Structure 1
Amino acid sequence: MGLSLTVLGCATPYPSTDNPCSGYLVSHGDTRVWMDAGTGTLGPLQQHTSLEALDAIWISHLHADHSADLLTAYYALLFADVERAPIPLYGPPGIADRLAGFLTNGPQRSPIEDAFAVTELDDGHQTAIGTLRLTTAAVEHGIPAFGVRIEADGGSLTYSGDTAPCPSLVELARGTDVLLCEAESAEKTPDMAHHTPEDAGETATAARAKRLIVTHVGRFLTPQEAVTRAGTRYAGRIDYAAPGTTFTAG
């Protein structure tokens, strides 16, 4: 089986009735990575795999719509029917203490490390998870935030996370088979921290990406509007990251 991406959800900044927040399952062979754990994504994750079978979790940044279900996963891992060693968790600096700050309700810090084996990301971080190779790059979101390029068997998938247009994302996505790029903003503002759909098209064009999937579409846009607007700046294939859809790379 090739490199695949299953959309668990892509809503922002809160889940809708049929769309959890940002979360994706990246799979290749027997390797499975939960990429972003936004509000409501743990449920649909279990339609495709279990917490026991996950090889790792990768978190782009610590806004709740990309990380809140780490809190529910913590309870599943330590206080329910899940039996396994701590899940490798890759995330921004301070992720363990942020989780502990929410979960601790007494004199002793919650044992985050009993549930997660934490590795803090930095710009240029590289790691192998099963058959996958991950390269992380810092992006521009006003807080520590990262995009990731995932490669296996000659296929490549690049995920923007949340970010304004930036050279580091273009470089990370150079020649990628699939660019999963956020398109949250309906219009440009002076303090942009996201892509507009046109920006997503421009990033895909600049990176010479072979395919663009727009995700994290804001609530003042429809998915079709986002796809159409991105298409004014990118001539390749464009799809919307509809929940439940599986895409392949390579």
Structure 2
Amino acid sequence: MDNPCSGYLVSGGGARVWVDAGTGTLTQLQRHVGLGELDAIWISHLHADHCADLLTAYYGALYADVELAAPITLFGPPGIADRLAHFLTNGPVRSPVESAFDVRELRDGHEARVGGLALTSRAVAHGMPAFAVRFESGGGSLVYSGDTAPCDALTELAEGCDVLLCEADLAEPPVPGGEQVHHTPEDAGDTARASGVGRLIVTHVGPALTPGQAVDRASARFGGPVEHAAPGAAFPVVRAGS
């Protein structure tokens, strides 16, 4: 009931960024910040469990009691504006997506600044255009995997970061020859260890696992602190032990 799809609020450097907008996350977001107070939205990929609440956000931004000084900056995979317009348009005239969102398409190595936050995005392995992102501000660093199989791009992006927020969707690796598009908990631990991160937070845990199982299995591969991103949880982005 109170467990929405993927969505996170990253705050730092005087900026607030909504990271992924899965179903149910807008309601949770507004417990902390209103749409009109966001500095940007960042979307990892266009599966509905990571972006569906953009449709509701569009109506909220344009027609609810929200005052926007300008359209909300929206970082997302190539084609995100047309994808939104396809869902929103109900007649011959294309819905004015750009009235609500200032769309910036991601690419591998994309860099941007949002207030005092520096964002670097890398293309990752999810069988479709998908991205991970690194946030840096004031010496702190957070990397979010999005949805992806283990890949060099994520390991490189996460190198030395304070906190890795990494998906752990798979209970077991795919059968030999099958395509892998997610991490197992063990994979999340391996990525954290290979990257030399300070702390691992597992998220997007699949239905075949409990959060506790995912944490225990990731901990078997990574010697640093491991936690689970429970709904509503807040985590400081600082090096473990500092």
Q: Which residue of structure 1 aligns with residue 160 of structure 2? A: 175
Q: Which residue of structure 1 aligns with residue 186 of structure 2? A: 198
Residues of 2 paired with 1:199 and 1:93: CA distance? 28
Q: Which residue of structure 2 aligns with residue 187 of structure 1? A: 172
Residues of 1 paired with 2:109 and 2:179: CA distance? 26
1:40-98 CA-partner distances (Å, limit 9, x unpaired): 00001011111111000000000000000000000001111111021000000000000
Match of 1:75 among 55, 59, 78: 59
**Quick check: 1:53 aligned with 2:69?**
no
Q: Offset at 1:30?
A: 2.9
- Report matched runs for 1:43-122 at 5 Å: 43-84=27-68, 85-122=70-107
Match of 1:148 among 130, 133, 154: 133
Q: Offset at 1:18?
A: 1.9
SS at match of 1:96: helix
* Matched residue type, 1:153: G
Shift of the 29–123 alpha-carbon distance from structure 1 to 2, 3 Å rule, reads closer
Q: Which residue of structure 1 aligns with residue 7 of structure 2? A: 23
If the length of structure 2 is used for normalisation, what is the TM-score?
0.96
1:165-193 CA-partner distances (Å, limit 9, x unpaired): 00000000000000000000001112110
- Report matched runs for 1:235-250 at 5 Å: 235-250=223-238
Q: Which residue of structure 2 aligns with residue 226 of structure 1? A: 214
1:211-250 CA-partner distances (Å, limit 9, x unpaired): 0000000011100000001011101000000011110112
Unaligned runs of 5+ residues in structure 2 are: none
* Matched residue type, 2:136: E
* Matched residue type, 1:237: P
Q: Which residue of structure 1 aligns with residue 108 of structure 2? A: 123
Match of 1:210 among 190, 198, 220: 198
Residues of 2 paired with 1:224 and 1:146: CA distance? 27
SS at match of 1:249: coil
Residues of 2 paired with 1:246 and 1:29: CA distance? 17
* Matched residue type, 1:30: G
CA contact (8 A) 2:13 2:137 kept: no
Q: Offset at 1:29?
A: 4.8
Residues of 2 paired with 1:29 and 1:186: CA distance? 36
Residues of 2 paired with 1:30 and 1:157: CA distance? 16
* Matched residue type, 1:203: T
Count of residue pairs brought into register by the alignment: 234
Residues of 2 paired with 1:178 and 1:122: CA distance? 23
SS at match of 1:70: helix
If the length of structure 1 is used for normalisation, what is the TM-score?
0.93
Unaligned runs of 5+ residues in structure 1 are: 1-16
* Matched residue type, 1:50: G
Q: Which residue of structure 2 aligns with residue 6 of structure 1? A: none
1:106-126 CA-partner distances (Å, limit 9, x unpaired): 011110000000000000000
Match of 1:36 among 20, 45, 52: 20
SS at match of 2:222: coil
Seq. identity, %? 67
The alignment's C-alpha RMSD in Å is 0.6
Which structure is richer in relative contact order (CA contacts within 8 A, separation 6 or more)? 1
SS at match of 1:21: coil
* Matched residue type, 1:76: G
Residues of 2 paired with 1:166 and 1:30: CA distance? 32
Residues of 1 paired with 2:211 and 2:198: CA distance? 20
CA contact (8 A) 2:13 2:115 kept: no
